[in-house]
Copies of this chain bind each other. A is one copy, B any other.
Amino acid sequence: MKVIRSPIQLRLQVKRFRTKGETIGFVPTMGALHGGHLPLIRRARKECDRVIVSIFVNPLQFGPREDYRRYPRTFFSDVSLLQKEKVDILFFPSVKTMYPDLFSATVTVNGLSERLCGAFRPGHFQGVATACTKLFNLVQPDTVYFGGKDYQQTRIIDRLLNDFDFNIRLKVLPTVREKNGLAMSSRNRYLSSRERKKALLLSKALIAGGALIQGGEKSVLRVLSRMKSILKDPAVRVDYVSIVDPKTLEEVSRFRGKVLLAVAARIGKTRLIDNILVRGS
């Protein structure tokens, strides 16, 4: 595996692949790789001639009071994991490379970016969309791979690819969970063992809500209040519990077709999110 820090070097390498007619799969990450990243990398490895993974803790997608500084950075273990997975290139640019002094352009996916997490993390999805626009132009992949835990992010990337006519396919793979149901996330490292137990309430609430809907419950309010009652705990501060249309992310008033149950909550200093798709009747 080659570790490339410079955009110019990356471009040269990509051009070499392209000249040989090779396809490129791309997995953008913020590092601190875990079991949720593995299926993305393996799927890319299976489907594409070349696999490029990026590690970039993107300052633009963190709010001023968020965890940019303390976000886990585990470069060396990330590298050995990626080598084992036979990744061709790790792109690991510096912040100064990505955002030099005069940098001033931003991408906004209006509408989708304001809902769910967007209401609690102003600027977050603008940061995501801006960094992804750059990475997509640098890597020029055929397919990008994202994890389903960040459902809203995947909707925004889908819009971005469509709206800006990127010639890139998006593949979203299912959320990977620990046996106890906890969605895998780099931020789980922040949790104390007591907090990890409390964190299970998120997936519990989703599963309970999903079960109610599949059992024929017709009232959105009753499902929401069941989920909220599960999350009612002094250690859990809920940002939102929502049932939304999976395409528009707008709150639904009744169940028809698929709906997304989504939760965000802070446990101690750690903000966690989770979601499941459920088919209403």
Chain A residues within 8 Å of B, Cβ to Cβ: 7, 11, 102-112, 129, 133-134, 137-138, 159-160, 162-167
Specify which of B129, B137, B163 is in contact with A166 (CB 8 Å cutoff).
B137
**Cα of A140 to Cα of B45 in the assembled complex, Å:** 27
Specify which of B104, B137, B166 is in contact with A165 (CB 8 Å cutoff).
B137
* Residues in chain B near residue A162, CB distance under 8 A: 102-103
- The answer to whether A107 and B110 have CB atoms under 8 Å apart is no
Specify which of B104, B110, B134, B137 is in contact with A105 (CB 8 Å cutoff).
B110
Task: Give the number of times this chain occurs in the complex, counting copies.
Answer: 2
**Cα of A102 to Cα of B248 in the assembled complex, Å:** 9
**Cα of A162 to Cα of B133 in the assembled complex, Å:** 12
**Cα of A258 to Cα of B43 in the assembled complex, Å:** 54
* Residues in chain B near residue A163, CB distance under 8 A: 103-105, 134
- The answer to whether A108 and B105 have CB atoms under 8 Å apart is yes
* Residues in chain B near residue A129, CB distance under 8 A: 105
A71 to chain B, nearest CB (A): 23
Specify which of B11, B108, B111, B137 is in contact with A164 (CB 8 Å cutoff).
B137
* Residues in chain B near residue A111, CB distance under 8 A: 104
* Residues in chain B near residue A138, CB distance under 8 A: 165
A6 to chain B, nearest CB (A): 12
- The answer to whether B109 and A107 have CB atoms under 8 Å apart is no
**Cα of A188 to Cα of B106 in the assembled complex, Å:** 33
**Closest 8 pairs (CB-CB, A-B):** A105-B163, A137-B165, A104-B110, A105-B109, A104-B111, A138-B165, A134-B165, A106-B108
* Residues in chain B near residue A7, CB distance under 8 A: 165
Sample 26 A-B pairs with CB under 8 A, ordered by A number: A7-B165, A11-B167, A102-B159, A102-B162, A103-B162, A103-B163, A104-B109, A104-B111, A104-B112, A104-B159, A105-B107, A105-B108, A105-B110, A105-B129, A105-B163, A105-B164, A106-B107, A106-B110, A107-B107, A107-B108, A108-B108, A133-B164, A134-B163, A137-B164, A137-B166, A138-B165
* Residues in chain B near residue A107, CB distance under 8 A: 105-108
**Cα of A103 to Cα of B158 in the assembled complex, Å:** 11
* Residues in chain B near residue A102, CB distance under 8 A: 159, 162
A96 to chain B, nearest CB (A): 14
* Residues in chain B near residue A165, CB distance under 8 A: 7, 134, 137-138
* Residues in chain B near residue A110, CB distance under 8 A: 104-106
